[in-house]
Amino acid sequence: MEYKFLRPGILCTVTAFAGLHPEAGEAAKPNGTTTKSDRQNVLLIIVDDLRTELNCYGIQDIVSPNIDRLAARGVRFDQAYCNVPVSGASRASLMTGLRPTLNRFVDVNAKIDKEAPEAITLPGYFKQNGYVTISNSKVIHGQHDALDSWSSIWKPGEDNARWRNYLGRENSEGQSQRHGAEAYECLEVADNAYFDGMTADKTIEDLRKLQKSGQPFFLAVGIVKPHLPFNAPKKYWDLYDREQIALPENYRMDRSGFPQQAFHTWGELRFYKNIPDKGDIPDDEIARTLIHAYKACVSYADAQVGAILNELERLGLDRNTLVVLIGDHGWSLGDHGQWCKHSNFGIVDRAPMIFCGAGLPQGRVVNEVVEFVDLYPSICQLAGLPVPGQCQGKSLAKLAREEDPEWKNSAVVKWHAGVSLMTPRYHYTEWRNAEEQTVGRMLFDCRTDPEENHNVAERDAYKSVVESLGKQLEASKGVDFYKK
């Protein structure tokens, strides 16, 4: 698959990147000790609102050759779950290695400095260990949060208040008004006309400077699409046949048997034109357009990832750089009649996670359940640094290379009063009130119902399963989830 896209002053032809060199370099020693020469650079790429909408995750119609190639050259985690399905809290949690609680990392406005001031952030820890730490675009969500973690911080565009990044006149003029702008944009523009193309350009410049300086680096890159609004150059829309885009099979599902807490109003989408303030989207063509736009944004994001990885390899930095790519959480595209994130359904909580670098196998797929709180200790260990004691997750370093019989094989996801336990077979959620009384339950048997269409929590046949999972959830979720 070839992409042709403009870079400043030249027309480039970029193929799916040629691939990293996982055989080069040396990983941390088995006993956990490292020398300075063992240490790896880190390139962390966080793609906003990216669910497992990638070819390498089995979505056959999606065009994502660069991320697919990264997965083929590294380790893909098939069952990776965020700990909080919203950008601010998810990023605060994974950047500190701390689980969410009742009053910590709850929502989009989560602040590390305020809610976990004693924590050393992941980039801050690398900075303490002599690394240059660079934040490009949206990495930690709070604009002024944990600033001392970074050697430098860069944001695309001069006016961050216009974060929706419209280029068309009508959308630009209406973007500050409710229902004033579309939830998407399709224009014939260069990749770097939008923020993510600018971010790829900036990251490429940084890689060149870092290669010349020889300094060890922790370079974090935020790709903001496919976050709303779904704006992408027209050539990425053109990769998809509109007639082949269908609504999910459970778009109009029967909600009987589900607790009302399982569903939300998807208010994030309702800001935009032609989206009603209440109720379902009235026109299926609007829904299909949103799905088309999301897919176009995934392919646009994939191209920017490819441009960055191509340069990493061209400079020879791939030989001693650990590359980690994640989505910060998933997203509903009409699944269960829902849109956006903010729920305890697996489609929202599951996200891509890929490792690639020295000492890691090629093409390995890890089917065990993992969670984002595991990222902090994993990146430290794989890069050659000791794991700090604050981490509440478990390093994936062994599991990334081989089977780990002692792996916990579960994840805990919290969205407000709903707490979910994800295991290889079951997804179990409890909603509790302030007195810790259970007011709703949801259980899916993923072996027979992978799309999560049938809540079996109240069926007699699953009574013992609910009891067992409830105990496991209680033991796994950490402290202060409900009580103040």
State residue 436's pLDDT score: 82
Report the distance separating Cα 203 and Cα 440, nearest Å. 46
CATH number for region 417-484: 3.30.1120.10
Host H or E run for residue 422: strand 418-422
The β-bridge relationship of strands 2-7 and 217-223 is unpaired
Supply 236's token pair.
């990425």
Average pLDDT of 402-419?
96
Q: Each residue of 104-117: b (16+ CB within 10 Å) or e?
A: bbbeeebbbbebbe
**Percent helix, strand, coil in the chain (nearest 5)?**
35, 20, 45
Q: Does residue 59 surpass a pLDDT of 60?
A: yes
Q: Does residue 11 surpass a pLDDT of 70?
A: no
Q: What is the DSSP secondary structure assignment for residue 162, as one 8-state letter? A: G
Q: Count CA atoms within 13 Å of residue 167 on its CB side.
A: 17
Supply 254's token pair.
């029967």
Where is pLDDT greater, at 203 or 435? 203
Q: Each residue of 412-432: b (16+ CB within 10 Å) or e?
A: bbbbbbbbbbbbeebbbbbbb
State residue 468's pLDDT score: 97
State residue 12's pLDDT score: 36
Residue 121 burial (C-beta neighbours within 10 Å; 0-12, 13-18, 19+): buried
* pLDDT tier at 217, thresholds 50, 70, 90: very high
State residue 25's pLDDT score: 35
State residue 380's pLDDT score: 98
Q: Which amino acid is at 313?
A: E
Q: Are 200 and 304 in contact (CB under 8 A)?
A: yes
Q: Are 367 and 87 in contact (CB under 8 A)?
A: no
Q: Does residue 239 surpass a pLDDT of 70?
A: yes
Cα 31 vs. chain centroid, distance in angstroms?
31
Greatest extent of the chain over all pairs of C-alpha atoms, in Å? 67
Q: Over the chain, what is the mean pLDDT?
A: 92
For 342-407, give the DSSP string. Answer: -SSSHHHHB--EEEESTTPPSSEEEEEEEEGGGHHHHHHHHHT-PPPTT--S---HHHHHS--TT-
Average pLDDT of 179-192?
98
Helix (H, G, I), strand (E, B) or coil at 214: coil
Report the distance separating Cα 112 and Cα 228, nearest Å. 24
Q: Does residue 82 surpass a pLDDT of 60?
A: yes
* Per-residue pLDDT reduced to its tens digit, 247-297: 999 999 999 999 999 999 999 999 999 999 999 999 999 999 999 999 999
Report the distance separating Cα 290 and Cα 335, nearest Å. 13
Average pLDDT of 240-245?
95
Supply 373's token pair.
């709180």
Radius of gyration for the alpha carbons in the chain, expressed in angstroms and rounded: 22
Q: Name residue 415's beta-bridge partners.
A: 418
State residue 478's pLDDT score: 72
Q: Does residue 151 surpass a pLDDT of 80?
A: yes
Pick the CATH number of 2-408 from 3.30.830.10, 3.30.450.60, 3.90.950.10, 3.40.720.10: 3.40.720.10
Domain regions of the chain by residue span:
2-408, 417-484
* pLDDT tier at 133, thresholds 50, 70, 90: very high
Q: Does residue 20 surpass a pLDDT of 70?
A: no
Percent of the chain having pLDDT more than 70? 90
Q: Are 166 and 231 in contact (CB under 8 A)?
A: yes
pTM confidence score: 0.93
Alpha helices by DSSP H, listed for 275-322, are: 284-314
Supply 55's token pair.
């070819």
